[in-house]
Amino acid sequence: MKRLGKISENNLLLLLSLGVGICAGLAAVLLERGISLIQSGLMPWMTAPDGFAWGRFVLPGAGMLLTLLFVRFLVRDNIGHGVTKVLLSLSREDARIRPHNMGSSLVASAMTIGFGGSVGAEAPIVYTGAALGSNFGRAAGLSQRGISILVGCGAAGAVSGIFGAPLAGVLFTLEVLMFNLSMSSLMPLLLSTVSAAVVVYIHDGGVAKFACDLTPFQPSNIPFYIALGIICGLISLYFMHTALALEDRLARLRGNFWRWLVCALSLGLLIFFFPPLFGEGYDSLRMMLGSRDIAVSGPLPLPLSSPWSVPAFFALILLLKVFAMTFTNAGGGVGGTFGPTLIVGGLTGFVLSRSLNLLLAGTGIVIPEHNFVLVGMGGLMAGVMQAPMTAIFLIAEITGGYELLLPLILCSTVSFGTIRVREKYSIYSKRIAQSGDLMTHDNDHSALMLIKTAQLVRDKYPHVSAGMSLRELVGLLSGSTAAVYPVLDEDGRFVAQVEVEHIRKIVFRTELYDRMFVRDLMEKPPFTVNADERMEAVMEKFAKSGSWRLPVLDAEGRYLGFISKSRVLEAYREALREISRD
């Protein structure tokens, strides 16, 4: 579709980013209202006079099954792992996200979480926002660069809307989605996040998501915040590797039904023994941030008279939350790791501060538990998502103030540094990095990622067969300027090639015209290229072989044409101009 009217692309981007932000904010409101309505309708099943509702054992599995059926028979597309999908679309798929994702992720995640699935709503809303940006941009006829910026705007607006944190939305797009920032993309990002935040503010009055009374920062607590940062880094490593390993193991189960059954029973048992694992889990965080006494619930036989029962109970929950999250997603549910990351971080801060207060009782040293809960949320987010700046400002915004800015910076930096010793990718980018499709802030790498091998293939070279005589070949040479001739079999499969430069002396020996054939002159190329091969791999083949052109084949070995180094360099310069343009 052609661009609207005579509006320049930059001005159109500003208008569209405003619209994307408003829609992302509305989507965040709709998702939260949808989850709340489902939970309200199911409330009678979630309460019981004996202290435990058996509905909590059954409902999460039922929600996973409903979501599985919805996705399989209505959506017919994989809509899980929303943030990873957005990353992949920016890295490999020209920022194109299917239109159904503007609504399907909302419905699926509302069912999953509303029925008690132990996942977060943030990743689905990010996927929804990115889909809004992608489809708005395509409908308006924007360039690939413009569509990519709107995808980032949608993701940023979604984070801003779900948390009411516009600055964190921008930083999330830069750090987690590895978005290349320029002056032309900064303004649309800001417009999108602010407009989303305004929509949410109008809806709920701007109440901070985790508002609480914070204790003023005390420099004497710096060693404890450093310790929290180290622990958050180690827990981040555990969280990330456990989630990915368990997901791989569950993926080996054959059949969606058996996978759902195993995951539903496992999740139900976890919730039976640890009720706080039911649903998103934000109620536990609000309990720890409130003035109420923190209670231990469930059938687990803990010595409730001991003050250590509370930190021990929540230490088990923080270790098991990753299992509950993975069972939910692997069993057919749709949700993200964003929420569970914040919850595990808050639990880490609480368990450490409560344990320190018990150990230091009578010494006059009191650790502010509220502060440590919130700082722990930032610390784990910095580690799991490899996004310290997003963590710092998100927690500062959702608490309603910046009193914790210094301890947040300290803890998030230490946590990030701790996990980077063993792991350089986030939980979102790990899989994509393993496949080599990850876009980064490295302009050289990003430019190569934008170049598609199939778009640079040209077939302007006369085809020859191995049985063709030298006389016939010379006849082709006289009427062509091609420097190389592909040798194909009867099915069009590539056999070898004839380099004109290598047979120049032979073509003048007329006595060989009927005695020599193409099979005597052809040679194997040093490398062949697959049509869908990454450009980095293609450039590596050019470097190793010293060749100026290489043959390109499809998956079945059929010849498609040649890719030349000159065309790659031309495309590379254009890609660099695209990502560097202001």
Stretch(es) of the chain classified as CATH 1.10.3080.10: 9-204, 219-435
Stretch(es) of the chain classified as CATH 3.10.580.10: 446-580
Helices 405-420 and 388-398, packing angle to 10 deg? 150
Query: CA-CA distance, 315 to 309, in Å (whole number)?
Result: 10
Record the pTM. Answer: 0.79
pLDDT at 455: 83
CA atoms within 13 A on the CB side of 346: 21
Average pLDDT over residues 392-410: 86
Are 259 and 250 a contacting pair, CB within 8 Å? yes
Q: Rounded mean pLDDT of the chain?
A: 85
Question: Which residues, 6 or more positions from 359, have their beta carbon under 8 angstroms from its beta carbon?
Answer: none
Are 165 and 197 a contacting pair, CB within 8 Å? yes
Segment among 152-161, 396-405, 408-417, 516-525 with least mean pLDDT: 396-405
Segment among 206-210, 334-338, 419-423 with least mean pLDDT: 206-210
More confident of the two residues 326 and 283: 326
pLDDT at 400: 67
∠ Cα 262 265 269 (to 5°): 135
pLDDT at 375: 95
More confident of the two residues 479 and 405: 405
DSSP string, 212-273: --PPPP-GGGHHHHHHHHHHHHHHHHHHHHHHHHHHHHHHTSSSHHHHHHHHHHHHHHHHHH
CATH of 219-435, one of 1.10.10.10, 1.10.3720.10, 3.30.2320.20, 1.10.3080.10: 1.10.3080.10
407-443 pLDDT tens trace: 999 999 999 999 999 998 888 888 777 666 565 555 5
Query: CA-CA distance, 486 to 562, in Å (whole number)?
Result: 9
447-492 pLDDT tens trace: 666 677 888 888 888 888 988 888 888 888 877 778 888 999 888 8
Dihedral, CA atoms, 286, 278, 350, 326, nearest 10 degrees? -130
Question: Is the model's pLDDT at 185 over the cut of 80?
Answer: no
Average pLDDT over residues 551-562: 88
Domain 9-204 annotated CATH 3.40.50.10900: no
Query: CA-CA distance, 17 to 102, in Å (whole number)?
Result: 15
Which tokens is 486 given? 């592909």
291-311 pLDDT tens trace: 556 766 666 666 666 788 889
Query: CA-CA distance, 390 to 412, in Å (whole number)?
Result: 10
Query: CA-CA distance, 285 to 281, in Å (whole number)?
Result: 7
Query: CA-CA distance, 273 to 336, in Å (whole number)?
Result: 23
Question: Is the model's pLDDT at 326 over the cut of 70?
Answer: yes
Q: What residues pair up with 498 in beta bridges, in sequence order?
A: 485
Are 412 and 230 a contacting pair, CB within 8 Å? no
508-523 pLDDT tens trace: 788 888 888 888 888 9
1-51 pLDDT tens trace: 455 556 788 889 999 999 999 999 999 999 999 999 998 888 777 665 554
Architecture (CATH level 2) of domain 446-580: Roll (3.10)
